[in-house]
Amino acid sequence: MKRLAYILFILFSAWALASGGEKPPPPLAHRGVMDLRGWDFDAAGPVELGGQWEFYWERFLVFDDFKTQPEPAYVRSGKIWNHTFVDGRKMPGTGYATYRLKVLTSGELTRMGLRSPDASSACRVYINDTLVYQAGVPGESKEKTRAFYSPAVVLVTLPSDEFEIIVHVSNFHHWMGGLWENIRFGKVSGLQAEREKTLAVSFMLFGAIWIIGFYHISLFLLRKKDKAPLLLGIFCLLMGFRAILHDEQGFRLLFSGMSFGLHMVLVYLSVYLAVPVLLRYMRLLFPDEISGKVDKGVMWVCLMFSLIVILFPSRWFSLTLPAFQGFMALTAVYCGFGVMRAVLRRQAGALVFFIGFLILTGTVVNDILYTRMVIFTGYYIPVGMVFFCRPRLF
């Protein structure tokens, strides 16, 4: 069963790489204008509406309001607005704002669509004066805001070859605010094809991790004296669950009615509980290298973080993530040196474990930098998980 999971992972990875192909670099918006008149949507597919958008802090503006031509600031889309300077003022994480982009097209486009943005934590999108998408209820305060996470591909009717995209975003439920990801614009067929490919890869990774997890739990049920397979199985289930919660397409398919608050709680708990489970698993494998005191200390710290998640609203417990990421990095360094000592002592299986642990740690670092919007790669912990579990195929 574990071998089957790994074979599926290899086949789907090969398919994903083979179907990617090279695409021309997308244009970037400049001072609130994006020129797509030279973009071939049939050959190159959908395009990210990245670059400089007009930005109006603490104002919800609609199409007619721009006839008075209010003076805009310019920010890059797809980044948090925390610490962005507007008129010499550093933006906080909480607040509300309007984004605006003028788009120029060839005028021959039909059945066009938008892939809704990942915005914190409520937003609505207009094409000129027509509302085309809404997630939650953006508001000027926490009381007037209803946070919700509902990514989607929406069909839009273009009023002309020149139109405006206006986005209202409010955040009072997370420590990071703003239009986190770029809106994607293109033909509906292209956006749907991207969605189906993403969904296939997501469920492949989710399924592979859970198959490996249940495989190890079944090993424990057959031989209950050895608790290491149970811990690895639980770790796989937690990470598989996190993978599907973190993937916008899989989340929409399985948990579309879940509240924003519950979604946040489950995402954070899946990480905060996985760390002590993994450390306890490593202690069972390398008892001479991983200290029991460190194991217990990490467990209590992670339980403390988990209690904060359970007891406090998302706006507050989301603030714990940077601290936990730093704590997790220190734990990973300690574990890495411990396994390295086992390798130097030529302990059986230590080298293979060390390589898998390095791959998993590398994907964790990637995901941390991606969530902090330092790099723009994607979530790869599920891929690292499959390599970390290192099924023996032959």
State the pLDDT at residue 18.
44
Of 169, 187, 205, the domain-final residue = 187
What are the φ and ψ backbone dihedral angles of 245, each rounded to 5 degrees? -70, -30
My answer on whether 104 and 203 are in the same domain is: no
Residue 178: both structure tokens together: 């703003």
Work out the number of other CB atoms within 10 angstroms of the CB of residue 11: 11
> How buried is 314 (Cβ within 10 angstroms: 0-12 exposed, 13-18 middle, 19+ buried)?
buried
**282 shares its domain with 344:** yes
- Do 128 and 178 have their domain in common? yes
Same structural domain, 58 and 152:
yes
Q: What is the pLDDT of residue 10?
A: 52
Flag whether 15 is in a domain.
Answer: no
Q: Is residue 17 part of a domain?
A: no
Q: Is residue 279 over pLDDT 50?
A: yes
User: Is 235 in contact with 284 (CB distance < 8 Å)?
Assistant: no
Task: Report the alpha-carbon distance of residue 40 to residue 193 in Å, rounded.
Answer: 16
Does 264 fall in a domain? yes
Q: Are residues 172 and 287 in the same domain?
A: no
Question: Among residues 150, 170, 187, which one ends one of the domains?
Answer: 187
Cβ-proximal residues to 10 (8 Å cutoff; 6+ apart), any chain = none
Write down the pLDDT at residue 46: 92
Within 10 A of 250 (CB to CB), how many other CB atoms are there? 19
Buried b (16+ CB within 10 A) or exposed e, 364-383: bbbbbeeeebeeeeebbbbb
Domain identity same for 220 and 368 = yes
Residues 40 and 99 in one domain: yes
Q: How far apart are CA 141 and CA 228, in angstroms?
A: 48
To 10 degrees, what angle do helices 260-285 and 228-246 make? 150
Q: Quick one: pLDDT at residue 248?
A: 61
Kindly state whether residue 280 falls inside one of the protein's structural domains.
yes
* Domain-embedded: residue 20: no
Domain end among 152, 187, 222? 187
Residue 143 in any domain: the answer is yes
Could you tell me the residue range of the domain that residue 50 belongs to?
Answer: 27-187
Report pLDDT digits (tens) over 115-152.
887 777 899 999 999 999 998 899 999 899 998 877 78
pLDDT reported for residue 250 = 60
Cα 175 to the center of its chain, rounded Å? 15
Distance CA 356, CA 343 (A): 13
Domain of 136, CATH number, reads 2.60.120.260
Q: What is the mean pLDDT of residues 95-109?
A: 90
Residue 8 lies in a domain: no
Answer yes or no: do 154 and 52 share one domain: yes
Is 336 in the same domain as 276?
Answer: yes
Predicted pLDDT at 200: 77
d(CA 377, CA 374): 10
Whether 310 and 217 share a structural domain: yes
Domains of the chain: total: 2
| Token pair of 58 as six digits | 């603490």
Query: Mind listing the pLDDT tens digit for each residue in 142-157?
Result: 899 998 877 788 889 8
Cut 0.85: pTM above it: no
| One domain for residues 330 and 234 | yes
Q: Establish if 151 belongs to a structural domain.
A: yes
HEC assignment per residue over 345-384 = CCCCCHHHHHHHHHHHHHHHHHHHHHHCCCCCCCCCHHHH
- Within a 10 A sphere around the Cβ of 69, how many other Cβ atoms? 7
Asked if residue 242 and residue 179 are part of one domain, the reply reads no
Tell me if 159 sits within 8 A of 87, measured CB to CB: no
